[in-house]
Amino acid sequence: MTRTGYWTLQSITFLVAAFLLLPILVIIPLSFNPEPYFSFTRKMVMLDPDGWSLRWYREVLQSAQWRLAFRNSVTIAAIVTPVATALGTCAALGLRHLPSRQRAIVTLLISSPLVVPVIIVATGTYLFFAPLGLTQSLTGIVLAHIILAAPFVVITVSSTLTTFDERLLRAAATLGASPIRAFFRVTLPLMVQGILAGALFAFATSFDEAVVTLFLARYDQRTVPLQMWSGVRDQLSPAVLVVASLLVLSMSVIVVAAKIVETFLSRRGRT
């Protein structure tokens, strides 16, 4: 029964993973379609070399609009990620010292952007930023993305701190460490995994955000999600599949790199 249950669990896990991943992975071979369609041609199915092409990859690389969109998305995410990570980490550290009832209320307020429909967040952000002159500006987009990304950092870092032993800080103080030194030598190494995970979520949230950016961005501030939406809505170009494939591959590389760094830091912390 144990062997049967084990293989049953493995089969269910494989089926769930396939259900989640196959719709994402199918876009990669479709991006090599030489025809302007979102479907496999007969030559592609027969694995005929003439049925596969880099036509849409060349179009994306040569398109000034796509280059601008990538530059805007990377610039915004590069600003949002460290700021949201720092703010979320500080908030998680502050929540740890609150009484349980107050902590629950504050956590609910901080996490509200995650549960409120994004169209409501976008509308409220626009109405709040418009009188301040922050619409159609990079500053307004960055601030809005920080609002959406910081709660992910708070949640991941807070989950890491749930197993934190306060006696370690008292031991460090007994040995003569200042509060700042104790934070960098004791607290920070134990929460670095949550910080890395939160930073990854913050980057992905900023890079993938479309609705709020649609309310706040000018035409020349169009990001990759907005450019993809335009490609699907206006002309249904397979170039969108190319960009989607590149995003899947790049995020996979980032996740693997973050996992490697996390494993290295964990081993270093244990030693």
What's the rounded Cα separation, in Å, for the pair 169 and 33? 59
Quick one: pLDDT at residue 4? 81
Quick one: pLDDT at residue 1? 55
* 271 residues of the chain, pLDDT tens digit each: 577 888 888 889 999 988 888 888 888 888 888 887 777 778 887 888 888 888 888 888 888 888 899 999 999 999 999 999 999 998 988 888 888 788 888 888 888 888 888 888 889 899 999 888 888 888 889 999 999 999 999 988 888 888 777 777 778 777 777 878 888 777 777 788 888 888 988 998 898 888 888 888 888 888 888 888 877 776 677 888 888 888 888 888 877 877 777 677 666 655 5
Name the superfamily (CATH) of residues 64-270. Answer: MetI-like (1.10.3720.10)
Quick one: pLDDT at residue 270? 54
**End-to-end Cα, the chain, rounded Å:** 40
Helices (H), the chain: 2-25, 27-30, 42-45, 55-62, 64-95, 100-110, 112-115, 118-129, 138-161, 167-174, 179-182, 188-208, 211-216, 224-230, 239-270
Quick one: pLDDT at residue 104? 82
Model's pTM, two decimal places?
0.80
Contact 244, 60 (CB under 8 A): no
Quick one: pLDDT at residue 260? 78
What's the rounded Cα separation, in Å, for the pair 170 and 158? 20
